[in-house]
Amino acid sequence: MMRDKICLVTGATSGIGAATALGLARLGASVVIIGRRADKCERAVRNLRRKTGNKSVAFLVADLSTQKDIRRIAQEFKQRYGFLDVLVNNAGGYFYTRELSADRLEMTFALNHLAYFLLTHLLMPSLLASPSSRVVNVASRDHRSARIDFDDLLAEKHYDRHKAYEQSKLANILFTYELARRKGPRPTVNALCPGLVRTNLGANNGWLRKKIVNLISRDRLSANEGADTSVYLASSPEVAEITGRYFIGRKETPSSDASYDQQVAERLWAVSETLTNVSCAPEPRHGAIS
């Protein structure tokens, strides 16, 4: 089903990302995973090959909160592969205290949104080299109570971990819809909520917090269940022509009212260009996303 397809999955050494990579490898795709540590990537690749019998699994090492790393691995990918069929933007984090990335940007926004924006932009030539490419952005239902606070986008005045995370997930959906609206050759691009999943999200905040999160997460979905919609959007013929939509449990679902605000989406796009030092040429847009 996915033979001869090349898929790149970020944050794929554990959790939903690892399960997404597993699902795509089982379908026969050539899978490239991105993780922060070489040793974890090597173990993940060995595990994927062992479980699926698929030898076409490889990895790239990068800290996706760091724009220098994103630029480097985008270049490495383009040097190794002639095209890209599927990009799954999955890597993310939840930070209990305000942290700064190597670029001196608030970490939640840098990792959860700007990494999606920059990596997708840098890999666009590879995506357009495929006749039917797709971008899949992992968001969250937590976007529903969020708004984009342009007056304090990087939480320099006040940091609230919940608001920072919710804002980043709203940004994922705004980015999805704005990319879909832009005319010209484009991959399809869709966003999803994986559901309430047992993952390592927040594990960076210490062992005690991780233990608490694990206790409250016992009744949540497994990583494989959470990855199901990501694999579906990356591979199913049913959604091959669908773009600019939000999914939960494989079903197209309305996102929040704020996520359909085109003026906010355009402003966020412009700010993201500035913060990543890239320029995407202005283009006419398709009709409204609804």
Cα–Cα distance for residue pair 129/230, rounded to 1 Å? 22
29 C-beta neighbours (distance < 10 Å), count: 27
The answer to whether 74 and 123 have CB atoms below 8 angstroms apart is: yes
* Residue 6 three-state SS: strand
Residue for token pair 């797709």: 134
Query: Is-contact 227 221, C-beta < 8 A?
Result: no
Residues 6 or more apart in contact with residue 31 via CB below 8 angstroms: 7, 8, 9, 21, 24, 25, 48, 54, 56, 57, 58
Q: Which of 94, 116, 165, 246 is catalytic?
A: 165
- Are 39 and 9 a contacting pair, CB within 8 Å? no
- For the question of residue 165 being annotated catalytic, the response is yes
Contact 109, 163 (CB under 8 A): no
Give the catalytic positions in this structure: 165
